[in-house]
């Protein structure tokens, strides 16, 4: 049905008007002179549609058909017109003596392109010579084996106005743009075009490689699909400008045509998958994502059709699909800008530029807009800007990921530092515990050695005394009287008492450990307690004890039983290690919230090395080993005082002798 409607429009001459090409009056011949080296044929071509496709050049040049040619306002653009053939003509005339002229015809997508040029034969007669320059002809048949066909004109044959006839047909889009120029101008133009195409292809391939490396090293699927999209775009550029055919397949035009159609389908596939990945459609647009997945599958099916040689059947739907996808991507990017903020702007700008130029390009292919140099080259420029913008967007995405990775790394580093610091602290505490345990073990071993030394010393003497006295009593050789026996028995009793004192002292240490669990505090008069202890020790040891007590008494909050142990040991220690007949001095004073009790004797005092071990359990100075004792008295003094929150220190008095200063908290009632 569509074909019949199209035929009617052609028959009535309306098709050109519907295609945006208004019929004009027949143009005058193009005069080729020295006024310019370049004469565009835009607006000078005339077109006629052969619906049957069977007319020959002789038939078309007959008066019957010449009247059907319609002048074109722009270049020739019939879009997809697979039925029949199109005939074009232009009238040229070369000024006598002018330079050699060449006809350059841009019809990259035309499968069958025949040109009839006037030539002067040996007799001077003007004849038409046919040239085949379409995409399905080998490159060797052209006058200039370039990607853009160029045919040499016979200036002698053009001394008078002559018609140049062209016939175009094929399954791809039919567009023709012609120019007549001198050979130097042709060389410069071809050099410019080659440089532009090579620049675009080279830049695209370079970005393809960079994207591929980034996609592999990051890794990031978006970069991988972008590299695939760029790679197919680079091949598509080569195919669209006929460089793949001219450089690599000059003798295989059919293969080049199939590759072009296949790459068109493949580029749609890579563009679809790349947009699907870049815009995160499953998360951002789940419903539209289903359509894009279906379009990707359909693109692969189209690839199979193109490989089989059926691209002509899918060319128009394929272009319509790309046109629609360009519009959809612009809308989706605009939505993402509102959702995601400035980070989505490069994608929007890239797809906006690409979409605008793609709409113009595909509209040109569909013959909705005229075929001009702008509509022909804008797509390439738009694609370049699009690729750069998208690459910038991906770069910003990588930068964002790097910043996020840096933040995550800093947070992980901070967590690691905290964990290391915590673990280090735990290790330090564990080491301190081990060191403390080791120190306690060493201390216990020292105490054990001291204890063994003390016990062996303290038990040896009374045991020796008991043994000797027992021998004397039991030896018949000695006629000991009752007085001697009583004397030996008294020795045994004293030895027994000494051993009993040792046992009681050891038991007192264990009792003190048990009492340390709970103190029975009460407010006691420290002055009265000291007077009581001084009176008892003065009576039992026949030793003078001098007291220096403040008036009014001093109240201490303490366990009275344990304070008895403190001062009994201090007074007994002073008595034991001071000369016979010397006095023991006890002074008491208030200092802030504490009470200081000083017990001073007139003995030899302490050496510097002794002061480090005075309060250790089972330790005794080497100068007093002959004195009875177990080395627990001052240790228990320190334990009791510390349990009360006080302190004790040992030193030497200025006047000679040792002094012990005990500090205990005063009763709160006296504060």
Looking at the DSSP assignment, which residues form a beta bridge with residue 50? 85
DSSP notation for 595-628 = EEEEEE--S----TTGGGTTTSTT---GGGTTS-
The residues, any chain, with a CB within 8 Å of residue 30's CB and separated by 6 or more, are 39, 41, 44, 90, 91, 92, 93, 180
Structure tokens at 15: 């098709």
Q: What is the mean pLDDT of the chain?
A: 80
More confident residue, 600 or 337: 600
Give the per-residue pLDDT at 481.
66
Mean pLDDT within 157-176: 91
Q: pLDDT value at position 575?
A: 82
Residue 639 has pLDDT above 90, yes or no: no
Q: Residue 502 is encoded by which pair of tokens? A: 């040792």
Determine the pLDDT at residue 7: 36
**What's the mean pLDDT in 24-52?**
84
CA–CA separation, 425 and 419 (whole Å): 10
Name the residue among 344, 427, 434 with its Cα closest to residue 390. Answer: 344
As a whole number, mean pLDDT of residues 122-138 equals 88
Helix 526-541 crosses helix 560-576 at what angle (to 10 degrees)?
A: 40
**Exposure on the CB side of residue 178, measured as CA atoms within 13 A:** 24
User: 516-670 has which CATH code?
Assistant: 3.30.565.10
What is the rounded (10 degree) CA torsion for 618, 619, 621, 624? 0
Reduced to 3 states (helix: H, G, I; strand: E, B; else coil), residue 118 is strand
Strand partners, 92: 30, 162
Q: Note the pLDDT of residue 341.
A: 67
Return the number of other C-beta atoms located less than 10 Å from residue 650's C-beta: 17
493 has pLDDT over 90: no
Instruction: Give 299-317 pLDDT, tens digit per residue.
Output: 999 999 999 988 888 888 8
Pick from 643, 646, 551: which is nearest to 596 by CA?
A: 646
Lowest average pLDDT, out of 57-61, 290-294, 594-598, goes to 594-598
Provide, rounded to the nearest whole percent, the portion of the chain with pLDDT above 70.
Answer: 82
| Statement: residue 380 has pLDDT above 70 | yes
Which phi and psi (to 5°) does residue 609 adopt? -75, -30
| Inter-residue contact 530 to 567 (CB < 8 Å) | yes
Domain boundaries of the chain, sorted by first residue: 2-191, 193-410, 516-670
Tell me which of 140 and 41 has the higher pLDDT.
Answer: 41
Closest-CA residue to 503 (of 634, 630, 636): 630
Selection from 522, 516, 556, 467 nearest residue 638 by Cα: 516
- How would residue 27 be classed by pLDDT, with cut points 50, 70 and 90? low
Q: Is the pLDDT of residue 622 over 70?
A: no
CA dihedral 52, 53, 58, 61 (to 10 degrees): 80
pLDDT of residue 25: 47
Categorize the per-residue pLDDT at 3 as very low, low, confident or very high, splitting at 50, 70 and 90: very low
For 389, residues 6+ apart whose C-beta sits below 8 A from its C-beta are 346, 347, 349, 350, 353
Burial 586-602 (b: 16+ CB within 10 A, else e): bbbeeeeebbbbbbbbb
Section 34-57 average pLDDT: 91
332 neighbors 292 (Cβ within 8 angstroms) = no
CATH fold of the domain at 2-191: Immunoglobulin-like (2.60.40)
Write out pLDDT tens, residues 398-428: 777 777 778 888 888 888 888 988 988 988 8
Lowest-confidence segment of 89-103, 163-177, 411-425, 629-643 by average pLDDT: 629-643
Question: What pLDDT is attached to residue 570?
Answer: 85
């Amino acid at each position: 049905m569509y074909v019949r409607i199209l035929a009617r429009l052609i028959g009535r001459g309306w098709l050109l008007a519907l295609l945006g090409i208004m019929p004009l009056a027949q143009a005058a011949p193009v005069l080729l002179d020295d006024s310019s080296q370049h004469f565009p044929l835009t607006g000078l071509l005339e077109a006629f549609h052969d619906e049957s496709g069977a007319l020959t050049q002789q038939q078309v040049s007959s008066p019957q058909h010449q009247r059907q040619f319609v002048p074109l306002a722009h270049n020739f653009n019939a879009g997809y017109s697979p039925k029949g053939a199109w005939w074009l003509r232009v009238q040229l005339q070369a000024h006598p003596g002018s330079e050699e002229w060449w006809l350059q015809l841009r019809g990259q997508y035309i499968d069958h392109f025949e040109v009839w040029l006037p030539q002067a034969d040996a007799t001077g007669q003007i004849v038409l010579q046919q040239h085949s320059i379409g995409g399905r002809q080998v490159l060797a048949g052209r006058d200039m084996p370039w990607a853009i066909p160029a045919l040499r004109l016979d200036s002698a044959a053009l001394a008078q106005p002559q018609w140049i006839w062209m016939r175009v047909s094929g399954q791809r889009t039919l567009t023709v743009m012609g120019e007549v120029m001198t050979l130097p101008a042709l060389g410069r133009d071809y050099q410019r075009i080659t440089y532009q195409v090579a620049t675009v292809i080279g830049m695209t391939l370079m970005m393809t490689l960079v994207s591929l490396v980034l996609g592999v090293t990051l890794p990031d699927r978006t970069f991988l699909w972008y590299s695939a999209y760029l790679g197919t775009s680079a091949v598509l550029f080569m195919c669209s400008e006929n460089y793949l055919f001219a450089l690599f397949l000059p003798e295989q035009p059919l293969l080049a045509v199939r590759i072009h159609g296949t790459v068109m389908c493949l580029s749609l596939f890579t563009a679809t998958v790349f947009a699907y990945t870049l815009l995160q459609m499953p998360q951002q647009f789940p419903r539209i994502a289903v359509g894009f997945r279906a379009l990707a599958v359909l693109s692969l099916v189209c690839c199979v059709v193109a490989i089989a040689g059926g691209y002509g059947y899918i060319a128009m739907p394929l272009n319509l699909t790309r046109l629609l996808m360009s519009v959809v991507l612009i809308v989706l990017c605009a939505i993402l800008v509102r959702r995601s903020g400035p980070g989505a702007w490069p994608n929007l700008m890239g797809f906006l530029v690409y979409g605008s130029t793609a709409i113009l390009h595909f509209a040109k292919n569909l013959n909705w807009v005229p075929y001009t140099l702008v509509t022909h080259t804008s797509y390439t420029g738009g694609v370049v800007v699009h690729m750069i913008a998208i690459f910038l967007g991906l770069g910003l995405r990588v930068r964002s990921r790097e910043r996020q990775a840096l933040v995550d790394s800093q947070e992980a580093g901070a967590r690691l530092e905290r964990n290391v610091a915590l673990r280090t602290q735990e290790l330090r505490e564990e080491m301190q515990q081990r060191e403390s345990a080791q120190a306690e073990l060493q201390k216990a071993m020292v105490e054990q050695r001291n204890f063994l030394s003390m016990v062996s010393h303290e038990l040896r003497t009374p045991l020796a005394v008991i043994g000797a006295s027992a021998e004397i009593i039991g030896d018949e050789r000695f006629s000991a009287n009752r007085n001697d026996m009583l004397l030996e028995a008294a020795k045994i009793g004293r030895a027994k008492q000494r051993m009993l004192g040792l046992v009681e002292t050891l038991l007192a240490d264990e009792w003190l450990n048990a009492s340390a669990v709970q103190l029975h505090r009460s407010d006691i008069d420290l002055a009265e307690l000291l007077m009581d202890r001084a009176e008892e020790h003065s009576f039992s040891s026949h030793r003078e004890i001098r007291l220096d007590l403040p008036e009014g008494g001093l109240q201490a909050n303490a366990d009275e039983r344990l304070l008895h142990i403190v001062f009994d040991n201090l007074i007994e220690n002073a008595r034991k290690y001071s000369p016979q007949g010397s006095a023991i001095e006890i002074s008491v004073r208030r200092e802030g919230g504490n009470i200081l009790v000083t017990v001073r004797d007139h003995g030899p005092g302490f050496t510097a090395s002794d002061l480090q071990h005075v309060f250790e359990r089972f330790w005794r100075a080497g100068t007093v080993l002959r004195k009875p004792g177990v080395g627990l008295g001052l240790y228990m003094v320190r334990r009791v005082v510390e349990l009360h929150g006080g302190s004790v220190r040992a030193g030497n008095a200025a006047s000679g002798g040792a002094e012990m200063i005990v500090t205990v908290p005063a009763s709160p009632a006296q504060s």
